[in-house]
Amino acid sequence: MSRLHDLFEQQGQSPWLDNLRRSWVASGELQKWVDGGVRGITSNPSIFEKAMTGTDAYDEQLQELKAAGASIEESYWALVVSDIEGALGVLRPLYESSDGVDGFVSVEVDPTLAPDTEGTIAAARALHQRIDQPNVYIKIPATQAGIPAIEQMIAEGRSVNVTLIFSLSRYQAVMEAYLSGLERCPGDLSAVSSVASFFISRTETEVDNRLDALGTPEATALKGQGAVAQGQAAYHLFLETFTGPRWEALVDRGAKVQRPLWASTSTKNPDYPDTLYVDALIGPDTVNTLPDNTLVAFADHGTVARTVDADPGHAHQVLAKLEALGVNMEDVSQVLEDEGVAAFVKSFDDLLANLAEKVATF
């Protein structure tokens, strides 16, 4: 048994892999990750950009798509769906053996739709229908426009990975969308699932930059603490939300909790431990999706212990001190949300341009 197995068996946290490559599915590498303790896969436009650029793994399918008259964007989605379906097949046994708790593969809607509620709903619905597998998560960003789309997808019984959550207030809105969607969803709820992806290290970088700008001893002392504190506070909100009469009425219909998923968990600052954003956020009913290098690091020397709610008072103290210094976490979150959406749009646009260049050579 590895540390990744221990993480789930002893602490109730599911380690997922934040990466996907076509070659991993074909070679059996993805199955090795699963055998080693990985319990799900996440992807995004940036991951697909890296996977599809500078490799010939997609050339044969691209040539077939060109011959069939597919546009560049149609070709992109055909490539993505092929990769997702391959990964879904690898993860399906885990989905079934876990009674639908794990074994999911996430695929994101067109990132250019982030400000468009109706467009997001239509795209998410179409993508879910096209793939039509019980262990697929459609990723919808937690933008203001995304919140109603999330509720609508849940109301239709479609499983969702809510992505790009940076603030506690937006996280509360995401959980409310999930609960309201479940309440609108008819019949048995046991096949409906969701995770709420709360971004960690990107938050740390932005908070630390603001603390550096202040330059005071009080500010310096808080470096490296803000993102973990906010994640731990988010877990406290999760525990508060998924309890009580409203939630119990949904449990009676088969509902599952919307697990917090810690995303952006590679350590950006080399001065911090490389497993910081795993070690500090371990607890029941949570997911941590990690890039392969961080997964390897945690498997080698991570600490398996319940930490996410070990000292909630300290987490709230850190957040209070940040606010007192003028580091407004709501403003931090808005900056990061805007940057996150822009980064995914750029990856999407760059990838389409690269695919067009490659297709032109066939």
Burial class (CB in 10 A: 0-12, 13-18, 19+), 87: buried
The three-point CA angle 27-30-34 to 5° equals 140
Tracing tokens 């909630």 back to the chain, one arrives at 312
From the list 281, 278, 272, the residue with the least C-alpha distance to 290 is 278
3-class SS at 308?
A: coil
From the list 172, 196, 180, 125, the residue with the least C-alpha distance to 148 is 180
In Å, what is the CA distance from 264 to each residue of 29, 180, 213, 241, 349? 23, 27, 23, 24, 22
Backbone angles phi, psi at 187, to 5 degrees: 75, -155
- β-strand pairing of 194-199 with 259-263: parallel
* Residue 159 near residue 193 (C-beta atoms within 8 A): yes
Whether 139 is catalytic is yes
- β-strand pairing of 259-263 with 286-290: parallel
**Which residue among 32, 50, 139, 346 is the active-site one?**
139
3-class SS at 182?
A: helix
Cα–Cα distance for residue pair 14/6, rounded to 1 Å:
10
Residue 342, both tokens: 């822009």
Q: Which amino acid is at 217?
A: P
Q: Which amino acid is at 281?
A: L
Q: Which residues are catalytic?
A: 139
